[in-house]
């Protein structure tokens, strides 16, 4: 397992899914990421799905779970690069991915993560004062 590499860039983890995932691989990624968030004290997780030709309910559930788990571990998850055909299909399938933040590409995703982390820190400062 653990066939999908997880890259660390400063305080963010980056995963680019480049293979047609079977279900066990999706589950393994979910576990690996959760562990890495804690080990690396990551504040952000970016999942690039631009190579995915489909997102079905199983992969959708995995994305939802990763977002929920990272939120509990004080990290922000952003899913980037969804193909238009995948987006159209997801909506018709009935999968709304509530709770999953999305951005158009890796650049926008990083910006979004930075923005959320910085906002969070400012709020913490205000509370501390």
Partner 1 sequence: MIVETDETLPVRTSDDVVRVRQAVRARAVAAGFSLVDQTKIITAASEIARNTVDYGGGGTLRVETLRNGQRRGVRLTFADQGPGIADLALAMTDGYTSGKGLGLGLSGAKRLVNEFNVTSAPGQGTVVMLARWK
Nearer to partner 1, 3 or 111 (CB): 3
Q: Which stretch binds partner 1 (CB under 8 A): 5-13, 14-22, 71-79, 112-120?
A: 14-22
Residue 40 token pair:
């690396």
Annotate 83-120 with DSSP letters as a single string: -HHHHHHHHHHT---TT-EEESSHHHHHHHHHHHHHHH
7 near partner 1, judged by CB under 8 A: no
# residues contacting partner 1 (CB under 8 A) = 23
Q: Quote the DSSP letter at residue 10.
A: T
Site string for partner 1, 51-90 (x = CB under 8 A): --xxxxxx-xx---------------------xxxx-xx-
* Residue tagged 């997880």 (tokens): 6
- Interface residue with partner 1, options 2, 93, 111, 119 (CB under 8 A): 93
Q: Which residues of the chain form contacts with partner 1 (CB under 8 A)?
A: 20-24, 53-58, 60-61, 83-86, 88-89, 92-95
């Amino acid at each position: 397992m653990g066939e999908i590499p997880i890259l660390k860039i400063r305080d963010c983890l980056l995963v680019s899914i480049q293979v047609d995932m079977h279900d066990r691989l999706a589950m393994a990624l979910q576990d690996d990421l959760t562990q890495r968030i804690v080990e690396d004290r990551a504040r952000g997780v970016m999942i690039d799905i631009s190579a995915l030709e489909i997102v079905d309910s199983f992969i959708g559930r995995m994305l939802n779970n990763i977002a929920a788990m990272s939120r509990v571990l004080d990290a922000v998850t952003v899913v980037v690069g969804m193909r238009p055909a995948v987006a159209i299909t997801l909506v018709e399938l009935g999968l709304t991915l509530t709770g999953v933040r999305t951005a158009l590409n890796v650049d926008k995703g990083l910006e979004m993560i930075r923005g959320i982390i910085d906002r969070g820190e400012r709020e913490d400062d205000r509370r501390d004062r």
